[in-house]
Amino acid sequence: MRVKYKIWLEDGDRIFSDGLALLLKTIDDEGSINRAAQQLNMSYRQAWGHVKKAEQRLGFALLDKKVGGEAGGGAELTDSARGFMQKYLQFRSEVHDAITQIFKRNFT
């Protein structure tokens, strides 16, 4: 038996979660929403929708996006997004460690 959980930040609606963090990181690595979606095995439609919703909720842009041009376009994280990501990942790491430890203490 093991513990599982989903955790997210919200303010009325869901704002930020692990899936979004992974998506944003992959977009930044790939330089493109499209390639990131392929790599994560999701549709571009879905990836784009997630990012758009999150941006609306957070109230600031997560991606600098370019349409057209040499490579067709592309996207990368804004500075705000990088800052937020860092805080979120730190938070997530601490939560994961805490839950793992508490589970062990109570169920093994």
Partner DNA sequence: TTGCGTTATGCATAGTGAAACATAACGAAA
Partner DNA sequence: TTTCGTTATGTTTCACTATGCATAACGCAA
Interface positions with a copy of itself (CB under 8 A): 1-11, 14-15, 87, 90-91, 94-95, 98-99, 102-103, 105-107
Q: How far is the CB of 49 from DNA (least distance, A)?
A: 6
From the list a copy of itself, DNA, none, partner contacted by residue 52 (C-beta under 5 to 8 A by kind): DNA
* Closest alpha carbon to 65 in 46, 52, 56, 50: 52
Residue 46 is encoded by which pair of tokens? 């879905």
55 in Cβ contact with 74 (< 8 Å) = no
* Cβ 27 vs Cβ 36: under 8 Å: yes
- What are the residues binding DNA (CB under 7 A)? 27, 32-35, 42-46, 48-49, 52, 63, 65-75
